[in-house]
A = this chain, B = another copy of it.
Amino acid sequence: MQKIDVYLTQSLINDDLFLKDKNVVVVDVLRATTTITVALSNGAREIIPAESVTIAARISKGLGKSLLCGERNGIIVEGFNLGNSPLEYSSEKIKDKSLIFSTTNGTLSITKSRLAKSCVLGSFVNLSKTVEHIKSLKEDVIMVCSGKLNTFCIEDAVCTGLIINSLLLYEEDKYELNDSAYACLRLGKLLATKIGKPSSEKILGMLKESEHGKYLTELGFGEDLKICSEIDSYPHLPVYCNGTIKLPEKIESETNQKSQLKKIKISK
């Protein structure tokens, strides 16, 4: 049996060692895990999550040429280059750049996974990729719904539930769920079709009704909800490893380059 334990907000994980050696999936639909997926899909070289604005500024100073990105309570941090809207992360702005990223909740969930065995970022835009990843792991998984300022967010729970629903679709007996995972599954099922995937329209409706969705709409980010609702529109899976977030394809090509370089050096 593969155990799937869900935590309904990142604030429920308050022990630095809790995620050590675990396989973690972080979900922050509005908007961190969506925006990071969009940014990497659009060609960002890497994303370095930072717990605080101060840490972000410090990393930026040390790193040199990079972009400072993120928000507090939905609004871009003063002096930062980009906020947390996926619409800002176009190829022209970010291609091949290092982004230092600090948000109110999402980056906290991510950095809490720094000692994890593996950590990936899930959202509606890469739902199927996240499902494939968990299937391929064949090991227990902890799914962290980011939530918002210490409280539960329905959109993270529904996304987590739809991921679990897809996992269980043809292999119900393979997984063991904790109470939170079961609750997410039931909430996800309300929006799922018989073949698992929900319609993006239904997801958008749910986002519009959610507390955080309403808040973002008030701030003028209504268009973001549409991007965040589009199932599998960015079929890439960001991986958090050694302090940075990259796409596996990128990690692989870098490893190949390195070993190529090694070969050249040796043959010299």
How many chain copies does the complex carry? 2
Q: How far is the CB of A106 from chain B (nearest CB, A)?
A: 17
Q: Please choose the segment from A20-28, A145-153, A166-174 that sits at the chain B interface, where 4 or more of its residues have CB less than 8 A away.
A: A145-153
A180 at the B interface (CB under 8 A): yes
Q: How far is the CB of A164 from chain B (nearest CB, A)?
A: 14
A190 at the B interface (CB under 8 A): yes
Interface size bracket, A side:
20 to 34
Which residue of B151, B153, B154 contacts A12 across the interface (Cβ within 8 Å)?
B151
Chain B residues contacting A210 (CB-CB under 8 Å) are: 179
Interface positions of A from 173 to 214, Cβ below 8 Å from B: 178-180, 182-183, 186-187, 190, 210-212
A9 at the B interface (CB under 8 A): yes
A11 at the B interface (CB under 8 A): yes
> When chains A and B are docked, how far (Å) is the Cα of A169 from the Cα of B139?
43
Which residue in chain B gives the minimum CB-CB distance to A9? B12
Q: How far is the CB of A236 from chain B (nearest CB, A)?
A: 28
A8 at the B interface (CB under 8 A): yes
A68 at the B interface (CB under 8 A): no
A4 at the B interface (CB under 8 A): no
Which residue of B152, B153, B178, B187 contacts A187 across the interface (Cβ within 8 Å)?
B187
Which residue in chain B gives the minimum CB-CB distance to A179? B154
Chain B residues contacting A180 (CB-CB under 8 Å) are: 151-152
30 pairs from A and B in contact (CB 8 Å cutoff) = A7-B151, A8-B8, A8-B152, A9-B12, A11-B12, A12-B12, A12-B150, A12-B151, A14-B150, A151-B178, A151-B179, A151-B180, A152-B179, A152-B180, A152-B183, A153-B179, A154-B179, A154-B182, A154-B183, A157-B183, A178-B211, A179-B210, A179-B211, A179-B212, A183-B183, A183-B187, A186-B186, A186-B187, A186-B190, A187-B187
Query: Which residues of A approach B to under 8 Å, CB–CB?
Result: 7-9, 11-12, 14, 150-154, 157, 178-180, 182-183, 186-187, 190, 210-212
